[in-house]
Amino acid sequence: MGVRVEIRGNADLRKAMRRFTPDLEKALKKEIGLALRPVVRQARGFVPEDSPMSGWAGRSFSEGKFPTYNATTVIAGIAYKSTPSKINENGFSSMASIQNKSAAGAIFEGAGRANPQGQPWVGSKTGSRSNKVSKSNNPHAGAKFIENLPPLVSSLKGRGRLIYRAWAANQGRAEGATMKAIDKALTQFRAEAAKGKLRKAA
């Protein structure tokens, strides 16, 4: 489970940069970091210190159970990645991304997007193994849980309460700066390739 905001680009050229011009790739990663760190910092600032509901905190994580809310874990799970991702099943990859990697962080980020009143209630005695239904003893637990969370905020990348909220507040500056840095580096890489200056890095 996790949430990410992706920035698309030409991942194949990034791989070639790492192979032939590692200094250029290193400089690019630094520029991407400068662009994305403010969004990460703001998203982390949206994480409340205390659990929105008392029942979401104060117990250990157990496989198959709702993950415990812990602000430190959620904050640590919000980070940027400046290297290309693997190509997905649709043939796409991202040049950079901001990720919300913790299970509790992903729940806080997007709870209520698909079901504003909470997941369909089936009760604790059901034999269902689905994680898309509520097995709480309280049939209104899902609705109350979402009611206690901050409102979802819409951005061009999606709706959420942490990274998507920060992305909306950033108003495209991070993506613009990232794409500008990528375009500049790729243009320089192509120019060096055209001049025959590329040599495989040791």
Top-confidence residue, 57 or 53 = 53
Torsion, Cα of 62, 66, 71, 74 (10° steps): 90
> From the centroid of its chain, how far is CA 144?
25
d(CA 105, CA 102): 5
In terms of pTM, does the model score above 0.85?
no
Residue 118 has pLDDT above 60, yes or no: yes
Task: Compute the average pLDDT of residues 116-135.
Answer: 63
For the chain, the average pLDDT equals 83
Residue 138 has pLDDT above 80, yes or no: no
Top-confidence residue, 197 or 53 = 53
Cα–Cα–Cα angle for 68, 71, 72, nearest 5°? 105
d(CA 110, CA 116): 10
Confidence of residue 110 (pLDDT cuts 50, 70, 90): very high
Confidence of residue 63 (pLDDT cuts 50, 70, 90): very low
d(CA 66, CA 11): 36
Residue 62 has pLDDT above 70, yes or no: no
Q: For residue 78, what are the β-bridge partners?
A: 100
Top-confidence residue, 189 or 161 = 161
Q: Are 133 and 149 in contact (CB under 8 A)?
A: no
